[in-house]
Structure 1
Amino acid sequence: MEQESIPMEVVNAHAAGVDVGSRSHWVAVGQQPEEVREFGVYNQDLFAMAQWLGEKKVKTVAMESTGTYWQNLYAVLIAKGFQVVLCNGKFTKNIKGKKTDVKDCQWIQKLHTLGLLNSSFLPDEATEQLRTYCRHRSNLLHQAASTSKKMQKYLRLLNLRLDVVVNDICGLTGLSIIRAICQGESNPQKLASLRHGNCRKSEHELALALQSNGRADYLFALQQELETYDYLQEKVLQCDVKIGEQLEKIIGNDPNKNQHQLPPKIYKRINKNSPKDIDLNLKSYQMFEGVDLLAIEGMSYSTVLSLMSEVGLAGIRKFGNAKQFASWLRLAPNNKVSGGKVLSSKVPKGSNRLKIALRNAANAIGNLKDSTPLRDFFQRISFRKGRVSAISATARKLAVIIWNLLIKGATYINPAGYLFLDQKRKLGMVKRIRKQIDKFGLTNEELGFNSL
């Protein structure tokens, strides 16, 4: 019996497939053995590959996003005028038989020829540079946090229970006391006198917790960790300078961005790990061309910076709708239906830095004491499915809100009239003053208003 075959339409007639490796790249322009070649990873090898692909009249190239090995090859091929499709490796795994580099590149070439591969999301070059600075800064902050834990450990071994009397040993009070300890000061009263005015504990309580056992080895290790912490903080400040320069480069060259102005939000808390000397309130307003994302409750400066560096405005415009944006963030359920029944609706695995930032913002919304639409939504989901599901659902809703604001140019309006902490304090102070005026029956003359 003659075997039947189902023909498939060729979508990309002049296509090539690349199996990216750490030491060599295998390239296929067809399914015959003579149509496969191996190239090295040096710069001259990448240009030789581009020249060979040009001789074979290849117009589009598909490759897997393997680690970071694809980036230099991707840049060379783009510069040479090829259309490059960077795909996720999980879409090219289903190949029968023994797995080899030759079969891999031929399989990628076949899938790309038939139009079965979709390109992964990539930001523009300016956003990618900003992302590099922000990610490196985040890594430095993680290292500094690890160093602070080690300092806390050696303080505890020295019987200096600074962690009991202060909330943050790397705050103003904590660092002042640690520096004095590393310089040889051991008198508890003198150490306690370095207390900052914001510290809730008294000098007497601090002195009780700062009686050391005098171990020289632990003191030496504490000094080393303090030097490491100071070194990392210096590197973080250098990253802040680069981030500020890159933001100026992106915004300053675009008249549609730098024309927008926005007054500062004095009621927004600035975390100590936020970039220094950068007005992220204004920069984000200009970056997103007049959309104030910080007006959304729960959004912090770090969340907005993650959005600017991981995606950017041009990147968000690549998503056709809010559902695609939420799905790319791995915040939308992956419904698996068979026989008319939903077998699974779990959120797909995988996290990027923007997803983590939005989940942190959702968690902050869940901690709000005042009633807002987002906070009420969080509470309803938390009551039915638990806090973890509520964080994911609220993060997805934030992603949908952000997409609609940036693409449609709408303004975020909270119908509940949410007030930030300093605004509520000011409003409460006005109410108390008016109450006192009415209680004592004070007039404008007694208050001195007529003389103004």
Structure 2
Amino acid sequence: MQVLYERCAGLDVHRDTVVATVRSPGKRRGSRSTQTRTFRTTMRALAELSDWLACESVELVGMEATGVYWKPVFTSLEDRFTCWLVNAAHLRNVPGRKTDVADSVWIARILECGLVRPSFVPVQEFRELRDLVRARTAVSQERVRVIQRLEKVLQDAGIKLTSVASQVWSKTSRAVLEALLEGVTSPVELAALAKGRLRSKREALEEALEHRFRVEHHGVIVRGLLAHIDSLEQRLDAYDAEIAARLAPHEEILELIRTIPGVGLKVAQVMAAEIGLDMSAFPTSAHLASWAGVCPGNHASGGKRKGGRSRPGPKWLKVALTEAAWGAVKAKDTYLSAHHKQIAGRAGGYKAIGATRHDIVVAYWHIVHDHVPYRDLGPDWAARRFSPAHRAKRLTAQLEALGYDVTIEPASAPPA
């Protein structure tokens, strides 16, 4: 098989060790030399690995995406070599030959022949931003779980606050909980702490706040949960400030991304962190949609299509896209909402949301690539696209491209 990369290295990365194999031209014409060494994954050992690869004049380094263990190895080598992170599913060896050395040799051999493609790895700036955004999302999800545990404690104490209020966590609920911890037991006094629209539900609130809350039992749990929520909110504020500071140089493009219906500030930040702002990695919007896992897959054999399940894309990105899609379909008189309704009628809501996610990703690519705001096609785009006037215009353009001069006149009405 033709060798595309004369000097390359395959790395089998583990938690404590990394097995490196270098493939280079042998002493005899047309032969290949193989050298394998094992290194620790400490920073000092990785520096030794880098020096050894440099001494061997390696031009390309490939490694398997193994959990998070590849990250320090990739970061230590990317400044001196071209590093490829390869999908583990593309590196399957022949069964019965599974050893660390064999895996390392196999990676190097398929790498030198160009039989694998590198996975998308953003630059260091956006890898760090991605870590911050994901950490913020994890803290936000933990906050939701703590609030749910708080609701369980309130239900155990007989407090039916969510039967009256739309959510368990609000200014009213915080004031009620603080009063309960201070020893207030009267439902009338507790209901008097209502704020906003809950003031109009005074009687229902008094009934819902009749309880058997005991400070020596429920109070211990609630006090701990409130302290946990406060600490999580402080962490969220810190993450928000740091993410905003990191994205300050890109504020202009973020404002353009937010012109997409359903895309707010945090969704725009997630999309920028997960995808990046350099579209050179994705030649077209279709490439980006395929990488994000928001377009149908290909599964055909014998001329028959057997399914089109989408590939699994980045889960953090998909969660943000789904949130944006639900916001977009609720907007009125927009292309995204009209397109969602059109597909939902024949394919169901789940596939319709998937199509909306695809529309948002395509719009993101064009906005970031061309530095232009979102341009809505309008709710009647489908009707206009297939209208006689539009079809005539498209066919005319095709004939003119073939070198013909075309003049269109409406057909005369047939005689009665």
* Bin for the TM-score computed over the shorter chain: 0.7 to 0.9
Looking at structure 2, the residues matched to 393 and 312 of structure 1 have their Cα atoms a distance apart, in angstroms, of: 22
Comparing 305-314 and 292-301, the one that deviates more: 292-301
3-state SS of paired residue (2:20) = strand
Counterpart mapping for 1:140-155 below 5 A: 140-155=139-154
Q: Counterpart of 2:253?
A: 287
What's the secondary structure of 1:185's corresponding residue? coil
How many angstroms apart in 1 are the aligned matches of 2:71 and 2:324?
Answer: 31
Distance 2:376 2:241 in 1: 35
1:325 and 2:288 matched: yes
Moved more, 26-35 or 92-101: 26-35
Distance 2:238 2:161 in 1: 30
Pairwise CA distance, 1:350? 4.1
SS at match of 1:9: coil
User: 19, 35, 39: which one pairs with 2:12?
Assistant: 19
Partner of 2:358: 396
Show structure 2 runs of 5+ residues with no match: 25-31, 381-416
Give the direction of change, closer, same or farther, for the CA distance of 1:41–1:413 in structure 2 (3 Å limit). Answer: closer
CA RMSD of aligned residues (A): 2.1
Separation (CA, whole Å) in 1 of partners of 2:238 and 2:70: 28
Deviations 1:312-366 (A, max 9, x none): 212x332100000000000111112223222221212344322221122222233
- Check whether the contact 2:151–2:168 (CA below 8 A) recurs between aligned residues: yes
Q: Which residue of 1 aligns with 2:178?
A: 179
Q: Percent identity?
A: 27
**What secondary structure sits across from 2:218 in the alignment?**
helix
CA deviation after TM superposition for structure 1 residue 109, in Å? 0.3
Residue 91, structure 1, aligned to residue 90, structure 2: yes
Q: Contact conserved, 1:29 with 1:58, CA < 8 A, in 2?
A: yes
Following superposition, the deviation at residue 90 of structure 1 comes to 0.6
Q: Distance in 1 between matches of 2:188 and 2:195?
A: 14
Q: Distance in 1 between matches of 2:54 and 2:207?
A: 76
**In the alignment, does 2:374 pair up with 1:381?**
no
Which amino acid is the alignment partner of residue 287 of structure 2?
A: Q
**How many angstroms apart in 1 are the aligned matches of 2:85 and 2:146?**
38
* Contact 2:47-2:76 at 8 Å conserved across structures: yes
1:57-112 residue CA offsets vs partner (Å, 9 max, x unmatched): 21211001111111111111123x11111111111013343311111000000011
Tell me, yes or no, if structure 1 residue 406 matches structure 2 residue 372.
no
The CA deviation string for residues 134-192 of structure 1, in whole angstroms up to 9 with x for no partner, is 11111111111111011100011111111111112211212221222223222211211
Q: Which residue does the alignment assign to 1:28?
A: 21
Partner of 1:364: 327
1:29–1:190 distance in 2 versus 1, CA, 3 Å = same
Paired residue for 1:203?
202
Q: Offset at 1:415?
A: 5.1
Whether 1:304 and 2:268 are equivalent positions in the alignment is: yes
CA distance in structure 2 between the aligned counterparts of 1:347 and 1:402, rounded to whole angstroms: 19
1:273-321 CA distance string (max 9 Å, x none): xxxxxxxxxx3xx135xx623222222222211112212212x332100
1:445 corresponds in structure 2 to none
CA contact (8 A) 2:18 2:39 kept: yes
* Equivalent-residue separation in structure 1 for 2:183 and 2:379 (angstroms): 54
- CA gap 1:381/1:244 in 2 versus in 1, 3 angstroms: same
Superposed displacement of residue 34, structure 1: 7.0
Partner-residue secondary structure (3-state), 2:39: strand
- The letter of the residue matching 2:318 is K
The amino acid of 1:193's aligned partner reads A
Equivalences for residues 219-368 of structure 1 within 5 A: 219-248=219-248, 251=249, 283=251, 286-288=252-254, 292-314=256-278, 316-368=279-331
What amino acid does structure 2 have at the position aligned with 1:100?
T
What is aligned with 1:9?
2
Residue matched to 1:218: 218
Offset, 1:200: 6.3
Going from structure 1 to structure 2, the CA distance change for 1:16 and 1:173 (only over 3 Å counts) comes to same
* Count of matched residue pairs: 372
* Contact kept in structure 2, 1:334 and 1:345, CA below 8 Å: yes
Distance 1:357 1:89 in 2: 25
Cα deviation for residue 416 of structure 1 reads 4.1
**Deviates most, 49-58 or 345-354:** 345-354
The one-letter code sitting in structure 2 at the alignment partner of 1:150 is R
User: Which position in structure 2 is the counterpart of 1:45?
Assistant: 45
**Secondary structure of 1:35's match?**
strand
- In the other structure, the counterpart of 1:138 is 137
Aligned counterpart, 1:446: none
The TM-score normalised by the length of structure 1 is: 0.78
Cα distance in 1, alignment partners of residues 213 and 328 from structure 2: 46
CA distance in 2, matches of 1:53, 1:234: 45
| TM-superposed deviation, 1:13 | 0.6
CA contact (8 A) 2:337 2:379 kept: no
Are the counterparts in 2 of residues 287 and 308 from structure 1 also a CA contact under 8 Å?
A: no
Cα distance in 1 between the residues matched to 2:213 and 2:259: 51
